[in-house]
Structure 1
Amino acid sequence: MLARSASRALLQPARRISRLRQCTSPRIKTPSRRLATVAPTIPASTDDLELVALFDQPQGRSAFAGPSSTGIFQHSQLTTPASFTALADSTLVRAQLLTERIIRARDNRHELGKVVKNLDRLSDALCGVIDLAELVRNAHPDAEWVESANTSYEKLCEFMNVLNTHVGLYEVLRDVLYNPELSAALSPEARETALIFWRDFEKSAIALSPDKKERFVSLSSNILSVGRDFVNDSSSPRPPASIMASEIADLKDKGMGSRLRRQALFTQRELLVYPGSHQAHMIMRSAPSEEPRKKVYIASHTSTPEQVARLETLLRLRAELAQLVGRDSYSGMALSDKMAKSPENVKQFLDTSLERTGVSARRALHALSVRKQAHLNASTLPIIQAWDRDFYCPPEPRLPPVALPPLTLGRTIMALSRLFKHMYGISLRHVKVEPGEVWHSDVHKLEVVDEDHGVIGWIYADLFARPGKAPGAAHYTVRCSRRTDDDDESGDLTFDGADNFLRLSRDFEAAKRHRIRGREGEYQLPLVVLLCDFSPPTAARGATTIDWPDIMTFYHEMGHAMHSMIGRTEYHNVAGTRCATDFVELPSILMEHFLTSPRVLSLFETDGSSIANQTANHHEDPCHHIDDHTNVLLSILDQNYHSTAVLDPKFDSTSVLANLQNSRGLIPHVAGTSFQTQFGHLFGYGATYYSYLFDRTIASQVWRRVFVQDPLNRETGEKYKRDVLSFGGGKDPWLMLSTLLNAPELETGDAAAMREVGEWRLASDDVMPERH
């Protein structure tokens, strides 16, 4: 999922995407399908089989010759750490000159017609280096490269922050948007790009008086500082729970239980169990006695007064910032450019979702209560407490829907290439990297090849763990798509002796430009990097096998990657994943749904005979419904915390949490606990935490209504590519969704549409079998 700030900056770098971790309405019309004409599975190609060998055989790993004239991503300007700094300096001066050109456009009507394009060029020039620096500082193993990337990143971001509050740029854009003739001449995509800039200027207090603008800068700085401290609080260790040896005498886990009891007896004192430790998880799942589970739960959800105060300070600062720019609440400010549009619309979605998920969740809770009654031999149904959940319904790992052989990394990537071939006529093809093109020998380069248009972008796969590399999975958009043949660089301002200095930036830009077969114009082709931490293949161990949850994560990230590849737009600011926060996860979550289909899973095998004919089993932890309901509740809490209520001197975040849990939740709040200080997403996703649940719901509906009957149908895949992916953020998501689902009632994206989505079921509520 997206790891990003809650609000979008005017000249915002493309977002790093990482994983966080569904629905039918009778009014939605199902697109017509001819179910009797299911096409045969396309066999694995030579390129597909090469992917298996490349990622599964140790000898298939690419050679690495270190620095050379090739440069990172074949940019000849980037061969050394010092060259990165030089590129940043050249880009900064070029951006300053382009900024001056845009400002002077007020004196020239012809230039006013180029303002939106030039603003997008300015954004792309800065983001092209910033996004590359973001990757290098997170992935490069060389400390000098990392230091150079950090310096470049900070230098260009500082200038970008200046542009976000640049009155001259704001006034020029206003002249364009408020001129009927110029505004009418904008294409729909150009107009959407202009409105993105306009809204971002508005959020940056551009129209405020100097004293209020100074207050805006001060508040923004304080929010960033307090927010970082809050995030650190959210993951900081909690004090241990003191557990008596007698309290874990009947622990179900005899091995660990015996060791814990011996440890307590040996030390002759209570055992200290730290929240988040293996011992804590084991006690919560395996201790029949309620007391140790209660102690561990309370210890895990306790906060210091300072931690609570820090969160409440963050919430008040955000509320003050919103009111300074004319919004009632921070939620109102954050949602103005989202699908939801307003807090009231989010409330419609969440209230409906809470009611819908509550039915299944209460049924699951009743089952837990019956288990607890039997365990306690009680005469009446007992109340399920917060510390009972994992004991009476231990979390189960997600499993594939059919029996599968061990799945290797190579076969996983092959299956993705074959899936994209069926859906879009697009495949993945390995291409040899040049010396110095990548930052480590583990990095492989994949061409994304369209059967009609040839190469449409590149994915660099850095998939193996190594010392110093961050864990987990992430998607970096290093380069966005945009049209470049109409850039009009000849009109850019310059100065005497500038040619040599600006050549670095110009050559860097020129290397990105390509002609696409069968398409008019010249385009900057997208480039993304996937980072994972799989174990590399070895001669002794063989190919890397992947657990099912990791395969789902990989499909999720590849959903983002294909959005970047297919989102072929003329403007950088609306390319691929540069779309609304509450829409961006739809393509990636939808990819997970394809893994529920035996036909899709058959693509892991070259013939598919042992998988395709199996019947999918729907096995699910019934307590997952409780978790869905809890996520809706947390989304409501996020909205409450970012409402005007936080400005009340009597505001108490713990009381708000307790009242919400006790009035609308399933499990009562535990006195003395304050989970909210561990809810780290309140900073990064402030007022938009509902987004992931929202996209899960939409993805589930799209899967059911569009793909489930024949997920490999090319006609259906082309429709999804044409109606959704190709637009990136250049079209209203509600219009895309209403077209895809043939649901005109969704077009306006109003409160009724949000309520409609809230009535849809999540994937956990039912799974429709494939029909062949």
Structure 2
Amino acid sequence: MPQLHINPALIDWNGHQGLPRFDLVKDEDFAAAFDAAMAKHDAEIDAIAANPEAPTMENTVVALEIAGDELSRISALFWNKAGAHTNDVIQALERDIAPKMSRHYSRFSMNEVLFKRVDDLWAKRDTLGLSVEEGRVLERHWKGFVRSGAQLAKPEQERLAAISERLASLGAKFGQNVLADEKAWDLVLTDEADLAGLPPFLREAMVSAARDRGHETGYTVTLSRSIIEPFLTFTERRDLREQAFRAWTARGANGGDTDNLAIVRETLALRAERAKLLGYDSFAAFKLDNTMAKTPEAVNGLLMAVWEKARKRALEEEASLAGLIAEEGGNHEVMPWDWRHYAEKLRHRTFNFSESELKPYLQLEKIIEACFDVASRVFGIRATELKDVPAYHPDVRVFEIHDEDGTLKALFLGDYFARSSKRSGAWMSSFQSQHKLTLKNGAEGEIPIIYNVCNFAKPSAGKPALLSIDDARTLFHEFGHALHGMLSDVTYPSVAGTGVARDFVELPSQLYEHWLTVPEILQKYAVHVDTGAPMPKELLDKVLAARTFNAGFATVEFTSSALVDMAFHTRTSVEEPMKVQAEVLEGIGMPQSIVMRHATPHFQHVFSGDGYSAGYYSYMWSEVLDADAFAAFEEAGDAFDPVTARKLKNNIYSVGGSIDPEDAYKAFRGKLPDPEAMLRKKGLAMLEELSGSDA
């Protein structure tokens, strides 16, 4: 039997409260386990398709929802390791497994007999007496089949399957190339002159990075955002800024085996072909058909409306920085490697505080506490850390999440520090989603097991980790995603938690960021690392006043990336991606002093898989919603107003994709927001910085 080839620890999660026993899983276990689990899933699918009884929700849709449980568990463990703690063995497996999994799911989605059962249910859906959630789940399955080619002729189906398999391989390789470039580069500094301007917290992080990279002495600049950004901000050495900046922005474009340009070219061609096979004018039209935005025109309309205002603000900011350079006796223009450095000086002058002055008040431990405290006050949950429960890496922390009545609601894992085995950025994912279905083993539903991954600089042994304000926002952002998963209260796993439209999924995360800068939260948790004294009111007021500082820069960085993403995916042919990128940036008047937040060769949101392909705009789309959503608390006069919080929990955070996102939002707020809410929040009048490093 296939089961014999699977290490039981991969599928029988008998650790604390159902956690996997990570310590019993070995890298070499995965290959055989995937083969066995896919074979078992195939058998389950064949049994559903061959059921002689007429199709019902129970014998078809519910059966599909609980099929493949072993494959899901093995996949969750593997993809967690591939992203958060990889190695050569895992990367080789990833290159093999990604196309194999694509092939497997293509067989599943092109099973004619199975689709006929789902199609029969879809055709008579209005007579089945379905609940709203059941209707959404049926629609999701039916659309999933159709968007995978179930209605195409056999030759087109086979071509679509081949495209999907190749895209899976390309996406895996793209991400591995970026990680390889990040691991391969570092800048070791040994002379005191090379460290001019670097504050103690950054020097300590660079010492830790140096030792982690095997350097016995010196200070190391890496391409981890938690080190490279503060280095670009504080170093007085313009030559070193340029050197580090060019390495950071060249990831994926260094030639040789890790160059991503050929991958991008082939990916775009295959995506365009896939869309055409399915009857769409472009890949963007295909991707957006299942979102709130609906059309590329709607997306570009929002992006361009913001772009014009953001560009104007950025040019004003650039002029201020140029004045500062001239004042210091410099005779150079503002270049991209200059911006953060002089913006920090300007912020210090304008608001009389610096990032280095703020950072001692932003301890990782305290910001984690703040995240949990806000969740308790808004959603009524309580977190308890488990000190003796092993996770997938020694740095990972495990928490139980309990509801107001003491019921275990979820398990949460926090993986906060950068390491060379982890891809860059920050994200939320799950080992297990919440649902209430009865599984084949008799279990009645499952609690969610959610994890956050960040890349904060790890301090030297015995030292506390200190965050920037952007790091702190990132932590709140990812915990907002985690809450979306942990507060889920639905029946079907496919619509649990973050199983929502791509341009709705960022609402819970971006909304949660707002509570970081609620004054009483900062007053309570922003305490000095050495004295324990709370942040002085004078400094707190300056921080709040500076929230929209440098916002033109931040929004230009983001919006240019989103516009390039849309340009790639609205065209039927892209022969030279970098030429298209250059044409788009020239056409919108991109300032020479700013670069895209994610240039094409390392744009992992878009090319390391297709999760955010033709979808990077969704951070801004969701920001339209989050600006209006937090205004509900402001209108109530209390950031923790219990009536508003209850409506938020019941209509946004707990319902997942079980109802239409527009209906969910209107149930909370009574109406859909106007984009003006976001523009007011941003200030355009005063642009608020886009934050959350997974943006």
Instruction: Say yes or no: TM over 0.5.
Output: yes
Where 2:541 maps in the other structure, the secondary structure is coil
| Residue of structure 2 aligned with 1:627, choices 550, 554, 564 | 554
Indicate conservation of the 8 Å contact 1:84/1:152, yes or no. Answer: no
Unaligned residue ranges in structure 2 (runs of 5+):
1-8, 183-192, 199-220, 690-695
2:580 aligns with one of 627, 645, 656: 656
Deviations 1:268-287 (A, max 9, x none): xxxxxx99799997799757
Which amino acid in the other structure matches residue 704 of structure 1? A
Answering whether residue 113 of structure 2 is matched by residue 168 of structure 1, we say yes
Q: Which moved more, 1:460-469 or 1:276-285?
A: 276-285
Distance change (3 Å), C-alpha of 1:81 and 1:186? same
Give the conservation status (yes or no) of the 8 Å contact 1:594–1:600. yes
Paired amino acid for 2:66: R
Residues in 2 aligned to 1:74 and 1:721: alpha-carbon distance in whole angstroms: 25
Residue number in structure 2 paired with 1:259: none
Taking structure 2 as the reference length, what is the TM-score of the superposition?
A: 0.73
Corresponding residue number in structure 2 for 1:724: 652
- Tell me which residue corresponds to 1:178: 123
| DSSP 3-state at the match of 2:502 | coil
**C-alpha spacing 1:428/1:146, structure 2 compared with 1 (3 Å):** farther
Q: Which moved more, 1:416-425 or 1:609-618?
A: 609-618
* Aligned partner (choices 344, 350, 366) of residue 411 of structure 1: 366
Q: Is the 8 A contact 1:430 1:444 kept in 2?
A: yes
Unmatched 5+ stretches in structure 1: 1-65, 239-249, 256-273, 490-505, 514-521, 747-752
| CA distance in 2 between partners of 1:718 and 1:703 (Å) | 13
1:567 aligns with 2:485: no
Q: CA deviation at 1:571?
A: 0.7
Contact 2:44 / 2:68 at 8 angstroms: preserved in 1? no
Is contact 1:285–1:391 with CA below 8 Å preserved after alignment? yes
Residue in 2 that maps onto 1:558 = 479
Q: Please state how far the C-alpha of 1:556 moved relative to its aligned partner.
A: 2.1
Offset of 1:524 from its aligned partner? 1.3
Distance across 1 between alignment mates of 2:613 and 2:434: 29
Alignment: residue pair count: 621
Considering fraction of residues, name the structure with more helix.
2
Aligned residue for 2:412, secondary structure, equals strand
When the two structures are superposed, what TM-score results if normalisation uses the length of structure 1?
Answer: 0.67
The answer for the alignment partner of 2:589 in structure 1 is: 665
Residue deviations 1:404-449 (CA, integer Å, cap 9, x gap): 8645444333333322221111111235656xx6456655432211
d(CA) in 2 for partners of 1:149, 1:295: 30
Amino acid aligned to 2:307 = L
Give the deviation of 1:324 after TM superposition.
1.4
Change (3 A) 1:285 1:477: same
Distance 1:467 1:385 in 2: 29
1:351 matched to 2:304? yes
Q: Percent identity?
A: 22
Counterpart secondary structure, 1:578:
coil
Find the counterpart in structure 2 of residue 741 from structure 1. Answer: 669
Q: Distance in 2 between matches of 1:706 and 1:154?
A: 46
Q: Secondary structure at the match of 2:63?
A: helix
- Residue aligned with 1:477, SS: strand
Contact 2:627 2:678 survives alignment (8 Å) = no
Shift of 1:111: 3.8
The offset of 1:572, in angstroms, is: 0.3
**Superposition map of 1:191-230 within 5 A:** 191-228=135-172
CA positional deviation for 1:174? 0.6
SS at match of 1:659: helix
Q: Does 1:637 align with 2:564?
A: yes
Structure 1 SS opposite 2:682: coil
Query: What is the Cα deviation at residue 577 of structure 1?
Result: 1.4
> Are the counterparts in 1 of residues 37 and 70 from structure 2 also a CA contact under 8 Å?
yes
Provide the residue aligned with 2:515 in structure 1: 594
| 1:408–1:545 CA contact under 8 A, matched in 2 | yes
Indicate how the Cα distance of structure 1 residues 757 and 218 shifts in structure 2: closer, same or farther if over 3 A, else same.
farther
Whole-angstrom CA distance in 2 between matches of 1:592 and 1:713: 17
Opposite residue 451 of structure 1, the aligned amino acid is E
Q: Which residue of 1 aligns with 2:50?
A: 104
Q: CA deviation at 1:202?
A: 2.1
Distance 1:360 1:80, change over 3 A: closer
SS of equivalent residue, structure 2 residue 654: helix
DSSP-derived class of the 2:638 partner: coil
Aligned counterparts of 1:237 and 1:170: Cα–Cα separation in 2: 43
Q: Give the C-alpha shift of residue 387 in structure 1.
A: 6.6
Report if the CA contact (8 A) 1:141-1:439 is conserved: no
CA distance in structure 2 between the partners assigned to 1:298 and 1:432 by the alignment: 39
Aligned residue type for 2:645 = G
Q: CA RMSD in A?
A: 5.1
> What is the alpha-carbon distance in structure 1 between the residues aligned to residue 94 and residue 583 of structure 2?
47
1:149 to 1:209, Cα distance in 2 relative to 1, 3 A: closer
Does residue 541 of structure 2 align to residue 616 of structure 1?
Answer: yes
Separation of aligned partners in 2, 1:157 and 1:372: 53
Rg (Cα) greater in structure:
1
Structure 1 position 177, deviation (Å): 0.4
Which of 113, 133, 152 pairs up with 2:78?
Answer: 133
Stretch moving more, 562-571 or 415-424:
415-424
Name the SS for the 2:513 alignment partner.
helix
Aligned amino acid, residue 422 of structure 1: R
Q: Work out the CA distance in 2 between the residues paired with 1:696 and 1:384.
A: 29
Matches within 5 A, 1:506-517: 506=441, 510=442, 513=443
Hey, what does 1:325 align to over in structure 2?
A: 278
Asked if residue 457 in structure 1 is aligned to residue 410 in structure 2, the reply is yes
Which residue among 573, 583, 591 is the counterpart of 1:646? 573
Distance 1:284 1:329, change over 3 A: farther
Pick closer, same or farther for the CA change 1:189–1:391 going to 2, 3 Å. same
| Separation (CA, whole Å) in 2 of partners of 1:149 and 1:316 | 23
The residue that corresponds to 1:338 in the other structure is 291
Counterpart-to-counterpart distance in 2, 1:569 and 1:254: 52
Report the alpha carbon displacement of residue 590 of structure 1 after superposing the two structures with TM.
2.1
Deviations 1:561-614 (A, max 9, x none): 2111111110101111122222222222222221111212244389x9956977
Contact 2:106 2:148 in 1 (8 A): no
Distance 1:456 1:406 in 2: 31
Report if aligned partners of 2:549, 2:688 keep a CA contact under 8 Å in 1.
Answer: no
**Whole-angstrom distance in 2 between the partners of 1:138 and 1:308:** 22
